[in-house]
Structure 1
């Protein structure tokens, strides 16, 4: 019933959209745009399917590998708008990743054999699962170049852990969660000795090995537990991608391979190249292993070898315990994918035109009855390929990767050579549809397409080449992700998205509703650990401490600790003086509670940067090894007084004697002039306060507390305003003592606090107006849009006299007001001699220009003005 209803709804909506486009194309602005750009109706429909209006949200969120950037790219579907880059294996300046102490600790977890590694080649992101379905909590991703796995916390989209593989030298085949996130499967790529010693290539078969590392994962804290992790030794067959069984095959893992020939090249000594020698055989091997049984075996030290401090289960132990098997598969495969119910396992060989579908129940029976066709050179039992298969189907040239849909048996496969996506049925083994893409597609990204609950709707083609699709920006072209609508009988390519970062290799998509990220941290949180930061500093706790080597406060110590706070628009403290050679540690706490009020921090010339989200505490550290004066400032534009959010680090040489400059006094003002300046400053503050009080009265009258988003802004404004009495007391005391100069400075500080209060307060008022005003009609919405886009707002500010008169009540100022205003909008020059218009021209010294509005636009503006009058008390 639900499926039929959804199809009917889709049909009705689609028909309505076509009708709307066809109607609009008959005349008006849309027709002009379509003609000017050479667009068809189908182009407009495709655009509408991917368009998100301002403030709109996507249904799905995609996490794509960033390839050689070492990062993760986050974008939305269907809009294909990039939302974030997540720093993982590579320093990332904007977020301060690798430039503040806490993030640098994460980055340094990825050191290998004591060496700093500052780049990565991210390949396969994986989302944590519950019962084979994405739970939206954790994201794992591998680094092929330097065998590592990183864990990203999806509560704040930050990398929290990097673990290096102690026995692999490269690892392409990760990361793949088991159905309840107990483990992460991570296969080696290029076979190499597990130890860190030299072994000649002639000993390849004896000393080189492949394998799958099975990382123990604690899904409660989002961490890999290294001591409970282990590697299954495998032959040097170049293990590639993996998938974990689910449903009926839960507890088993599947990893394909290439180079079962165990060829090692030697082009420099006259041998055929690797690509020839590694693809001689008609088949390679699919590795089938019982990770659940292997995990139990790994707990007994008799079953493992310890290599580089890491547990390894030897081949013979896995074989002896019936936990490792091989099945021939099409040569040079590049992926293995388990169906949503776990019964079917699809493998595509990129040098074959076929997809091979294995059936778990057949494999399970062969294992149970020990029906083997033989063993490989390492003693691993081999199952018969034909007896394991459900069947094969010819798809096209270069089949690679697969994604499933909610339709029974439906699967989508990328064809690298043919540059196509093919839809087919893995149960009936019939091809259903093909769609051309641009060009040389690698991976596919379905909407939760490799889970027990695939969503269908869209497929994304991750293409390796863009060639002629975008504006030429040099020899290096972007990658091209193409969104394909799969909701109909045939596939429909909707939109191209250039990705100019690394080589996005694989991507996973999840329903946006499953993600629940924070909007702020609990005050003083270390975002990398989730715990309270040792440097947490609240307002009034700001200080500078000098300590000795033992950590005790000592005026002669060389370790300077600065406890600072950040809030719009100042950094406290604003002056820091240290000695050349001091070891400087600065703790920074963002005191903001408002959403999206990030602050950044840097000290010029010292190569440090931190990004402070609301509530976060971060730490930077540097040696003050050069003398001079160095401004520090907030790097994130945060308020109207952003440029004033700064301070000075002054580094003096303790071995030098400095001649003090004469203190600069306030010009040549006498006492009377200073007193006049003081009174002027107080008067400005009083006037500003009157504006603030009017805003406060409006907010209270309209029950701002009933609206959470507005209440948060008001709280933030009151935080600023609450600091004024203390400053006022200092100003009054200074004035009574006759120190007018200091009193003026304090009054200036009051003015800055008032500006910040007004800034937030007016934002709160504007937000509240929209919440409490009557709902706009479609015509009034169009009128407001026309009012803004047509240039009206350049002179007219609703609720205020600006370069032109306030239009609140404009329709009541004239007899037949609507007709009068309409006529004036359509032909203003014909009314310049009207007495009322002439008086306005004389007053504002400005004539209303003809904005060339048409009659419909004019009608819409009239409806907008009516809406303003209905809500006049709010403006």
Structure 2
């Protein structure tokens, strides 16, 4: 056996060892070559990224080519717990956009993904995908691979032909499938031709805002043929779009009445119709109310208005077609017929000439002009049984078509109408894609066959088999099947691919981002801003998450409170995602670095419920938790502490009393020192500070009455109740201290020297960069106090700059190593820019300048 061409003889590999492995595993040299073509060593990234529909999962699957490694699932039409999609409030709003007639839809059938385009070329900004089960279209922002919008079609009842994009992403096309009344009323089937209709909706896309503009979208009424797939013209055919159909017979079935089933009646004619419509004319018609009706609050342009304006035509096509694909230059349209052995190549130049000359062969029952099939054709090629979908190569004129019945991919020349090659796939291929194969500039190189059946390809896993995505190398003269990938999620109907270099997703969010809007979340919370706000039964918790704690760690609410928890991830380092789940409350959120998300629930279960980080984020991941306490305000609880005190001996009870007295005195000492500072600095001059002081004094004023009860109990010898009252005193002291310290911090800020512009920018970078997640100015927290940090090293400014720039370089430095050991944390690389680091150093200088105020 020859190994030289593959492995340079035995220099890199022992030929005998390789030969042994090949023999043991029954591998051929062809197998080894296929493996080499798809293998990606650790850390090497793929050249192309593929977005696949997830079928009945309602999601999108993302994987790489040539490795075929699955990289991500994107939650779209159905909840996806890992991403918190459908569990946090922000994504619930997105899903609610897909409600139909007020009904929540809990599943979807994703079918046709498509990218945003400019000049017909793929742009990695947005991905669109339709839901066949419930006529909806979703927008996925590829800035972060999250679904940001779902729109429900107000007039179509079922669809298959979405979501196809015009060359500059002016519109997203969604065509109906089974004819239905466009209104929401009951109509019997014997009114089929009179009331039932097909339709194609053109969703206007606002590129700058990344959203479908429902107000400026419209629908074209079509006959009650069953519309199917679509494609938009480009180049020579720019401004036009094409949608094929089945059931030109307008057969209405009735197997339960003894009539032939649908499958017999809808394939009787030799031809069906391809719809040709000019969306540039239609968008003008949509601006004049005489051309459209308002149905369910949506503009529907009538067949008559479209025909009168020269915007709608029909061309016969082979029966039961299932694919319509425009060539990269826009000159030709290729259609495959499921029940024909041919692919038909239409010449748009001929079509346009007939339209311009008004040279029509006939009109359909609805008055739509029909063009002559033979005059419109460039030609037909016999490919095999069941031609479905076509995709393009970088080489001019070369295309690939899937054959469902023959389970093959055929390579052929659509200009010269000649078959070039074919390869077997396993089994019953549906859609087919080459790299960027439907764009104005296809790359080719690889093809992906989406096989509906896998039968004997993989280990048996029960009656429900995975489907099979197969990678085909099309770079040579002969196609080579190189990889089988089972897809165990939904029915992965179609894929679309893009060069990895065109995708520029953010690795972290700007601090406090609402990922579903791309804007700053109204509840962004930075370190030091954590708080709980109560308004009657509405409780709002402003929380932060950072390695390795959730702040606050204790949340107490009353039973039946309406609780909203806002969570901001203070991390700036890549891949430091935190999750948030509350046991037994069906609550989950995924909070990526810089993101703010929220969860809302009614606290309808009494008890104690741990909450925790659901992502294994650090060595102290298990310690990243807290407790939600839900108490019934109408119940009187027997204190476990009280029960414990009752069991103490007199000496132990006295010791406990003295301990709480000492704690309260120490806390009060802190308060008095704060009060002294506030008075000396004239806090009354500063309204914001004064408001906080009033709040603190209000809490402090409640202590006297409770303290008197504690003292009276102690005097009577009832140390048990004395201790409990002293604990109540402590509660008021803590609340006073909390507000008082905030008042002091605000006053310090008022008294501090004015910040330079650089220091002000530095403070912003410090806060939004997540530094305050571990560092608290003026005290030791999860990390060291940064007051005086510039004085701790020779040439301190340079040391701090270099350390922030690349912390890993200093992990073995003796001083830094001691800090790591003490705090059990390493400072991550926050990926600060040089100018941000310089500004932070100016901020640290300002801190040192005003350190004496604390």
Q: TM range, normalised to the smaller chain?
A: 0.7 to 0.9
Give the CA deviation at 1:426.
0.3
- Match status 1:399 vs 2:465: no
Q: Conserved in 2, the CA contact under 8 Å of 1:716 and 1:760?
A: no
Equivalent position to 2:513, from 517, 521, 525:
525
> Would you say the 8 A contact 1:125–1:506 is kept in 2?
yes
| Matched residue count | 683
Give deviations 1:821-865, integer Å, cap 9, x for gaps.
Answer: xxxxxxxxxxxxxxxxxxxxxxxxxxxxxxxxxxxxxxxxxxxxx
Match of 2:556 in 1: 577
Residue number in structure 1 paired with 2:804: none
- How do residues 668-747 of structure 1 correspond to structure 2 at under 5 angstroms? 720=774, 725-727=779-781
Which residue of structure 2 aligns with residue 290 of structure 1?
278
Q: Give yes or no for contact 1:444–1:460 (8 Å, CA) kept in 2.
A: yes
Q: Compute the displacement of 1:222 (Å).
A: 1.2
1:30 Cα offset (Å): 2.3
Task: Determine helix, strand or coil for the equivalent of 1:58.
Answer: coil
CA separation in 2, counterparts of 1:91 and 1:295? 35
Residue 371 of structure 1 aligns with which residue? 359
**Equivalent pair of 1:720/1:753 in contact (CA under 8 Å):** no
Name the SS for the 2:72 alignment partner: strand
CA distance in 2, matches of 1:762, 1:214: 47
2:118 is the counterpart of 1:130: yes
TM-aligned CA deviation for residue 716 of structure 1: 7.4
Pairwise CA distance, 1:18 = 2.6
The reply to whether residue 242 of structure 1 matches residue 230 of structure 2 is: yes
* 1:621-636 equivalences in 2 (<5 Å): 621-636=600-615
Instruction: Tell me the CA shift for residue 756 of structure 1.
Output: 8.8
For residues 119 and 730 of structure 1, what CA distance do their matches in structure 2 show?
A: 49
Measured at CA, do residues 248 and 598 of structure 1 come closer, stay the same or move farther in structure 2, by a change above 3 Å? same
2:194 to 206, 213, 238: 206
Residue pair 1:717, 1:760 contacting (<8 A) in 2 also:
no
Q: Among 183, 205, 210, which residue is 1:222 paired with?
A: 210
Kindly indicate whether the alpha-carbon contact (under 8 Å) linking 2:571 and 2:773 is maintained by their aligned counterparts in 1: no
Q: Secondary structure at the match of 1:209?
A: strand
State whether structure 2 residue 21 is matched by structure 1 residue 33: yes
Residue 563 of structure 1 pairs with residue 533 of structure 2: no
The corresponding residue for 1:601 is 580
- The yes-or-no answer on 1:483 pairing with 2:471 is yes
Cα distance in 2 between the residues matched to 1:511 and 1:496: 21
Structural mapping, 1:54-203, within 5 Å: 54-203=42-191
Cα shift readout 1:666-685 (whole Å, capped 9, x = no counterpart): 999x99xx9xxxxxxxxxxx
Alpha-carbon offset, residue 534 of structure 1 = 1.5
Q: CA deviation at 1:35?
A: 1.9
Q: 1:463-516 deviations in whole A, cap 9, x for unaligned?
A: 000000000010100010000000000000000000000000000000000000
Secondary structure at the aligned position of 1:654 is classed as coil
Q: Summarize the Cα distance change of 1:730–1:399 in structure 2 as closer, same or farther, 3 Å threshold.
A: closer
Q: Which runs of 5+ in 1 are unaligned?
A: 1-13, 548-556, 675-710, 732-750, 765-875
User: Structure 2: 5+ residue runs without aligned partners?
Assistant: 660-764, 786-816, 831-854
CA contact (8 A) 2:775 2:784 kept: no
Structure-2 change in CA distance of 1:651 and 1:543 (3 Å)? same
Per-residue CA deviation, residues 138-157 of structure 1 (Å, 9 max, x unaligned), is 00000011000000000000
Partner of 1:870: none
Contact 1:717 1:761 in 2 (8 A): no
Residues 135-534 of structure 1 aligned to structure 2 (within 5 Å): 135-534=123-522
**Contact map agreement 2:470 2:481 (CA 8 A) in 1:** yes
CA pair 43-413 structure 1, distance change in 2 beyond 3 A: same
Q: 1:760 Cα shift?
A: 2.6
CA displacement at 1:532 relative to structure 2: 1.1
Q: Is structure 2 residue 722 aligned with structure 1 residue 656?
A: no
Aligned-partner Cα distance in 2 for 1:199–1:276: 24
Q: Distance in 2 between matches of 1:77 and 1:637?
A: 29
2:839 equivalent in structure 1? none
Q: CA deviation at 1:24?
A: 6.5
For residues 551-589 of structure 1, the C-alpha deviation after alignment (integer angstroms, 9 at most, x for no partner) is xxxxxx111110000000000000111111111111100
- What secondary structure does 1:386 align onto? helix
Give the secondary structure class of the aligned counterpart of 1:726: coil
Partner Cα separation in structure 2 for residue 729 and residue 506 of structure 1: 50
Q: Distance in 2 between matches of 1:45 and 1:722?
A: 57
Paired with 2:373 and 2:504, the residues of 1 have a C-alpha distance of: 45
For residues 22 and 182 of structure 1, do their structure 2 counterparts lie closer, same or farther at Cα, with a shift above 3 Å needed? farther
Contact 1:17 1:45 in 2 (8 A): no
TM-score (structure 1 length as normaliser): 0.75
RMSD: 2.7
Q: SS at the partner of 1:124?
A: coil
- For residue 720 of structure 1, report the CA deviation from its aligned partner: 3.1
CA contact (8 A) 1:210 1:236 kept: yes
| Cα distance in 2, alignment partners of residues 567 and 762 from structure 1 | 12
Q: Corresponding residue for 2:844?
A: none
Name the SS for the 2:333 alignment partner: strand
1:210-263 per-residue CA deviation (whole Å, 9 max, x = no partner) reads 011011111111111011111111101100000000000000000000000000
Q: In the alignment, is the contact (CA less than 8 A) between 1:252 and 1:288 conserved in 2?
A: yes
The answer to whether the Cα contact below 8 Å between 1:66 and 1:121 also exists between their aligned partners in 2 is yes
| SS of match in other structure, 1:422 | strand
Change (3 A) 1:403 1:23: farther
Contact residue 720 and residue 757 of structure 1 kept, 8 A: no
Q: Who is 2:706 aligned against?
A: none
Q: Is the 8 A contact 1:21 1:41 kept in 2?
A: no
Q: How far apart are 1:173 and its partner, in Å?
A: 0.2
CA-CA distance at 1:27 after TM superposition: 2.4
Q: Deviations over 1:13-62 (max 9, x none)?
A: x9975353787677243223222211111111111110111111000000
Decide whether the 8 Å contact of 2:173 with 2:203 is kept in 1: yes
How far residue 75 of structure 1 moved from its aligned partner, in angstroms, is 0.3
- Change beyond 3 A, Cα 1:419–1:757: farther
Compared with structure 1, are the counterparts of its residues 762 and 320 closer, same or farther at alpha carbon in structure 2 (3 Å cutoff)?
A: closer
Partner of 1:545: 533
Contact 1:21 / 1:44 at 8 angstroms: preserved in 2? no
CA pair 16-27 structure 1, distance change in 2 beyond 3 A: closer
3-state SS in 1 of match to 2:523: coil
Q: CA deviation at 1:205?
A: 0.6
Cα distance in 2 for partners of 1:592, 1:519 equals: 12
